[in-house]
Structure 1
Amino acid sequence: MILLLAFTIIGAGCKRKGIVSHNGAKDLISFKSIQGITYTEVARRMKNGLSFNDYGYQLEPQWKMSFISDDSARIYSPIKKQLINFPLSRGYDSIFNTARAWLKVKKMSKDSLVIEILKYKDGLIDVTGAQVYMILYADNYIKNTLHSDSTILRRPGRKDSIFISKLVAKANSNYKAAFAARQPVQLISKSPMVKVEQRKTEPTMENNFDTSDDYLDPTFDIVINKAYRDFYYSFSIYVDDKGNMIYRIPLVAFMEEGFKATYIKESQDIMNTYLKYFFKIIPGSTLGMSHASIISIHIKGITAAPKTDKHTTTKGQ
Structure 2
Amino acid sequence: MKSKNSCFFIFITSILFFAGCNSDSKVEARKTPKSQTEIEDLPENNLKFKDVNGIRFFEVKRRFKNGVSFNNDGFQQIPTWIIQFKAPDTMLAYSPEKKKMESFYLHHDHGRIYNFAREYFRVRIISKDSLVLQRVQVDAMKIAGDDDPRSDVYSTYYSKKIIDKLNTTIGELQKPTSRDTLFIKDLSLKTYKDPSNPTVAFPATSPVVFVPNSKNVSVEKISTADELNNRKSAVDYFYPYYKIVINKSYKDFVYNFSVVVDANGKMYVTKGYEFVLPEYREQRKKLLQGIADMYLSNLFYITPGKTLGIPHSSEISLKVIGRTGN
TM-score by length of 1: 0.82
Distance (Å, rounded) in 2 between the aligned partners of 1:206 and 1:246: 30
Helix, strand or coil at the partner of 1:191: coil
Counterpart in 1 of 2:209?
186
Per the alignment, residue 266 of structure 2 pairs with: 244
CA distance in 2, matches of 1:157, 1:168: 17
Separation in structure 2 between the aligned mates of residue 165 and residue 24 of structure 1, nearest angstrom:
40
RMSD (CA atoms): 2.5
Distance 1:230 1:16, change over 3 A: farther
Say if 1:18 and 1:156 are closer, same or farther in 2 by CA, change over 3 A. Answer: farther
Read off the aligned partner of 2:165 and give its amino acid letter. Answer: T
Q: How many residues align?
A: 285
Tell me whether 1:119 sits opposite 2:137 in the alignment. Answer: yes
Range 153-162 or range 109-118, more displaced:
153-162
Change (3 A) 1:186 1:202: same
Q: Is the 1:195–1:224 contact (alpha carbons within 8 Å) kept by the matching residues of 2? A: yes
- Is 2:249 aligned against 1:227? yes
Give the letter for the 1:168 counterpart: S
Question: Match of 1:67?
Answer: 85
Question: Does residue 1:213 correspond to 2:235, yes or no?
Answer: yes
Q: Which has the higher helix share?
A: 2
The residue aligned with 2:17 is none
Native 8 Å contact 1:38 1:64 kept in 2? yes
Alpha-carbon distance in 2 for matches of 1:66, 1:53:
28
Q: Which of 134, 156, 165 lines up with 2:185 in the alignment?
A: 165
**What secondary structure, in the 3-state scheme, does the structure 2 residue paired with 1:274 have?**
helix
Question: Any stretches of 5+ residues in structure 2 without a counterpart?
Answer: 1-35
Contact 2:44-2:125 at 8 Å conserved across structures: no
Distance 2:45 2:257 in 1: 58
Over 3 Å counting, the alpha-carbon distance change for 1:16 and 1:112 in structure 2 is same
**1:91 partner SS:** strand
Distance 1:255 1:204, change over 3 A: closer
2:68 to 50, 57, 61: 50
User: 2:53 maps to what in 1?
Assistant: 35
Q: Do residues 275 (structure 1) and 296 (structure 2) align?
A: yes
Over 3 Å counting, the alpha-carbon distance change for 1:260 and 1:109 in structure 2 is same
Could you say which structure has the larger radius of gyration? 2
| Contact 1:190/1:279, CA 8 A, preserved across alignment | yes
Q: State the 1:15 CA deviation.
A: 5.6
- CA 1:16–1:222 in structure 2 vs 1: closer, same or farther (change >3 Å)? farther
Question: SS state of the match for residue 211, structure 2?
Answer: strand
Cα distance in 2, alignment partners of residues 53 and 107 from structure 1: 24
Q: Conserved in 2, the CA contact under 8 Å of 1:31 and 1:70?
A: no
Q: TM-score, normalised by structure 2?
A: 0.79
Residue 5 of structure 2 corresponds to which residue in structure 1? none
In the alignment, is the contact (CA less than 8 A) between 2:224 and 2:239 conserved in 1? no
Match of 1:3 in 2: none
Q: 2:109 aligns with which of 91, 99, 106?
A: 91
- What amino acid is aligned across from residue 169 of structure 2 in structure 1? D
**Is residue 63–residue 76 contact of structure 1 (8 Å, CA) maintained in 2?**
yes
* 1:258 equivalenced with 2:279 (yes/no): yes
Unaligned runs of 5+ in 1: 1-13, 306-317
